[in-house]
Chains A and B, each alone.
Chain A
């Protein structure tokens, strides 16, 4: 997994609430057996019509935002289905950070497995960052994970909270499975003790 330390990039505004993961990546793209190549399905039904022709006006298709690496959006982003294809699609497009007042639980977890930083901030602060993101090519934000800060184009800074362990793993690009294997003896002893206390399992 690629590390996340600091990111200075264009932020795209997606001013919608309750964006579910079906909207982020519709079901027809779930038939892949790979993790990559999903950018073509990202927000598909907002970007292409029923015949598959591009629609006008979706934010990520506008020239200023085609290389956006940050998304600023509304509350409860990523609710619904557990599909990890949602962060995969965002990553494949180039998005490494999503800023919103709140997230769907499973989506939030899935982001960390893919080197994407989800940042939850109070609504008022997200509203200000959304205004910043509306500036097109000038919508440049800097995200500093170590300092836990987001800096806007005018230099204003907001602080964000993040779980210490998740921060550590993201900063260092650590692989969860490798970390857990370091505790293999604890898993062994848990299983041994279980055999005795709950033998029907």
Chain B
């Protein structure tokens, strides 16, 4: 290996910074590796240089286009074709309104609270309740929703996994441990040690759209989120319209109305426009540790995206890779003849595992099936 010149080190470091600025996860060690790698290839050979940098600086194939474009522009070569600028859809103007003002927000929430107090005769059976759309929903269904949330929580609760752990009483004798113990007593098998399967815990992350277009459904969905948050401890709830807010703690307040009160203080963009992509990207960026293979991520939205659908697609691709399952619940999917043709939905579909309706209780009931990993 030849020692690289100071110029080369400097140039490589600059290239790494450029890559980092474009989102590639590189540390100082990678710069060092890249420089060392360049020391062991033929520097006059452009392809050698490209492959050496690629092996050391590219960490996943998804970043390959970015890497190639930057390499070409940085190390001399064909000028990269600029990515198409996002096309502004004709309908974006009206939807991209400023977030609802605080007073308006409060009014929306208050109207829900009022509805809460209206006494509406309870539907006689669960089916009857289940068939109603959220938009025409009565009001003491909070109890029904709570019961549903409990059922879902039971489905989600721990199930035996594949790893073993020692336990006083268990399903199997742990031969390894028992024999280990027996060594103490000179090979006499005096006590048996047992083992059993470690429990596998599923976690739930809910990302709910509370923009204007979801208003019809938002009230019941909120009840659902509230009930779920309180029935099951491993739930994290986020809401978004134009930006993302974590509302786990707000929802965990005892009393539905108090929770709504806290929410109105916390969330600044109720009934605003929708930027699903940006909101999900900020979730991916700010809460990377929340999603792993034992996490089910549920996105609750009608898919009316006013931002760049490409951003949405990218954020979902990341979530899809990290999560155990990615579920998209769309209230519109329950209406006959609905087809997911919006640009947002089109960008989302390739990345989601389960696409299901969420317009009434019956559809939420179905949800339970998709939630256990």
> Do A and B assemble together?
no
A residues contacting B by CB (< 8 A) are: none
B residues contacting A by CB (< 8 A) are: none
